[in-house]
């Protein structure tokens, strides 16, 4: 096992990683600023993560399993997939989580005059409060 990097090295790792990951600066730009290669900058980002000097975590408003959603989409060649993470296995909690994520998806993707068909037992009838808050939502039931 290698020795812990010196403090100046750790600071450099964190600087490069934060500039790249938090500020969105390209590695080649950071590398040029520091007079190092793009590959050295990439290694510094990786090393900062390995040493636990920085953390990358997803912050998603909705109860969604980000990693599983991406893997599902890749596996089946889908443009996107959304896997809902429910707070419990209780039927009411599952319905509420599904309805909230589905409503948000429709609000963000449906265009004016789109028609969406669902069964009478579908989520809108089980969680009307969520769906009634969607702009332009009308039910034919």
pLDDT digits (tens, 9 = 90+) for 72-91: 999 999 988 899 988 788 88
Residue 2 lies in a domain: no
Which range of residues forms the domain containing residue 92? 66-129
Share of the chain above pLDDT 70, in %: 80
In a domain, 57, yes or no: no
55 falls within a domain: no
The number of folded domains in the chain is 2
82: its two tokens: 């959304």
Stated pTM of the model? 0.54
Tell me: do 44 and 75 sit in the same domain: no
The two structure tokens encoding residue 89: 């296995």
- The verdict on 44 and 71 lying in the same domain is no
């Amino acid at each position: 096992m290698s020795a812990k990097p010196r403090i100046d090295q750790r600071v450099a790792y964190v600087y490069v990683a934060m500039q790249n990951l938090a500020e969105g600066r390209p590695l080649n730009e950071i590398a040029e600023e520091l007079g190092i290669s793009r590959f050295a900058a990439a290694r510094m980002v990786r090393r900062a993560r390995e040493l636990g000097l920085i953390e990358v975590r997803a912050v998603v408003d909705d109860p969604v399993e980000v990693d599983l959603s991406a893997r599902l989409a890749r596996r089946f060649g889908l443009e996107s997939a959304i896997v809902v993470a429910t707070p419990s296995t209780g039927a009411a909690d599952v319905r509420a989580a599904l309805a909230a994520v589905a409503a948000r998806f429709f609000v963000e993707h449906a265009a004016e005059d789109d028609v969406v068909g669902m069964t009478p037992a579908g989520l809108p009838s089980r969680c009307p409060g969520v769906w009634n808050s969607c702009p332009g939502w009308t039910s034919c039931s």
